[in-house]
């Protein structure tokens, strides 16, 4: 099953993050995303601020539905940085990659 088709699962307290090996393998499945200080991140660029705001709202809606909220930042009205990290796990989990794949799929299908 493709990552974008999966659903995020509720975090179980005490569950560890995924391994470095799994992280490297999953990173191949989310083009455009990179690891930055242990976080899964990607910056999206838009022509106008209203496009950035619409994208932010879309990401927040998807993330709320899945129960996995990202770190978000908008700069200069054109650049939106999305970052995923499972803070309770102290690292990345499958949920982080599922959300990255969902965002990638949504961007391709716009």
**In whole numbers, what is the pLDDT of the chain averaged over residues?**
94
Q: Is the pLDDT at 43 greater than 80, yes or no?
A: yes
Return d(Cα 53, Cα 87) in angstroms, integer. 25
**What is the reported pLDDT for 110?**
53
Return d(Cα 59, Cα 18) in angstroms, integer. 23
Name which residue leads in pLDDT, 90 or 11: 90
Return d(Cα 60, Cα 55) in angstroms, integer. 9
């Amino acid at each position: 099953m493709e990552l974008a088709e999966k659903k995020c699962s509720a975090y179980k307290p005490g569950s560890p993050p995924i391994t470095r090996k799994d992280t490297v393998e999953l990173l191949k499945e989310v083009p455009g995303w990179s690891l930055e200080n242990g976080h899964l991140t990607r910056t999206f660029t838009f022509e106008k601020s209203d496009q950035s705001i619409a994208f932010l709202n879309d990401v927040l809606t998807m993330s709320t539905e899945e129960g996995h909220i990202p770190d978000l930042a908008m700069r200069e009205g054109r650049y939106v940085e999305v970052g995923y990290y499972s803070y309770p796990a102290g690292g990345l989990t499958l949920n982080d990659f599922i959300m990255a794949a969902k965002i990638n799929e949504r961007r391709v299908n716009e």
